[in-house]
Amino acid sequence: MRIASVEVTPYALPLREPYVTAAGRLERREMVLLRLRCEDGLAGLGEAVPLSLRGGMALARVVDELERLGDWESLDEATLSAAGAALSPPARCAALTALMDLRSRRAAAERDAPSADPPQPVRCNATLVAGEPTAVAADAERWAGDGFSSFKLKLGSRDGDDVGQVRAVRSALGPGARIRVDANGAWDVATAKRTLAQLEPLDVELAEQPVATLGEAAEVVGTTSIPIAADESVESRADAERAVAIGACGLVGLKLSKVGGPEAAIGIAEVLPSFVSSALDGAIGIAASAQVAQTLSEAAGPGDPGLAHGLATQRLFSSTVASVECELRGDMLHLPEGPGLGVEIDEAALDAHRL
């Protein structure tokens, strides 16, 4: 596709409260907005989220990669895939998402009508940051009061009471709540085995990335009845195939900026049952992730495991750069009904948050 202009805007959204995990602490999320414009002015939106808590690519590197797209003769999915090694996963995600959005908007403009089928909502889990057990339980009750029934607890923080947090949330919410835990690879094998054994009586839905590597996960998975899900250790279809081969996990959490875009995420989900999570994305990343979640549900059909997706994180931010974006109603994430991703940018808000 011939692109007339490439517009790259780094910006940051402040968090309502510090986001605390085993990997570190964030006060705000830095990200990059990408706009690809055709000669007639139609634009597609993409978003790159450098995974700063994971030691990922620096924001400046991602900005540079995206700005260099303006030097390319043409942009399409094939050329981006062929040059994939030259783009970090967040940058590739932004470019491919923007192309997808642009093509969908183009198709809608050519038929002069929106899609006939309104997008289906996506069920989401609450995301609880690490803290003192009583504080985490109080946070869980606030989410539950807003209609959430699935809860993800961030464990593995230094000096944190992992079992105490889960026990406090289970006590506060009762037996009906679904509770999953995520240690972000902070535990060693012995700690993972010991902690998961202590968590088994608390009816934990799944444990995400309890240890750092797939090899370590393979040592843990047979010692607990709690299903093990990968996150950081599965970044590609090849990783997913290896996870299956060595029996490291039965599930994987997908983040678009981690794996390099929607198609890569769907490719991984063809190998392992998957749920989609936010990397503390902005409005564009959330909309793209929600569309992937819909695709996975449709592909699974009656075999859909019914796992909630980690896409309610817009609640964690105190502001947005979108005038139109996904909307949370209870624990259901409703996508915009416009063409493509349906997201529209509030230019004044973007200017206010520009880096």
154 Cβ contact partners less than 8 Å away, ≥ 6 residues apart: 20, 21, 22, 127, 128, 129, 130, 182, 184
Is 343 in contact with 286 (CB distance < 8 Å)? Answer: no
Q: How far apart are CA 127 and CA 262, in angstroms?
A: 22
Q: How far apart are CA 241 and CA 129, in angstroms?
A: 31
Q: Which of 152, 193, 255, 258 is catalytic?
A: 255
Q: How many CB atoms lie within 10 A of CB 310?
A: 26
Nearest CA among 214, 259, 230, 239 for reference residue 51: 259
Indicate the pairing of strand 126-128 with strand 150-154. Answer: parallel
Task: Assess whether 193 carries a catalytic annotation.
Answer: no
Task: Assess whether 154 carries a catalytic annotation.
Answer: yes
Cross-strand bridge partners of residue 228 = 207
Q: Which of 152, 154, 193, 258 is catalytic?
A: 154
The H or E element that residue 44 is part of is: strand 43-48
Q: How far apart are CA 124 and CA 184, in angstroms?
A: 19
- Using a 10 angstrom Cβ sphere, with 0-12 exposed, 13-18 middle and 19 or more buried, the burial of residue 302 is exposed
SS3 content of the chain, % helix, strand, coil (to 5): 40, 25, 35
Cα angle 257, 68, 32 (rounded to 5 degrees) comes to 35
- Using a 10 angstrom Cβ sphere, with 0-12 exposed, 13-18 middle and 19 or more buried, the burial of residue 234 is buried
Active site residues: 154, 255
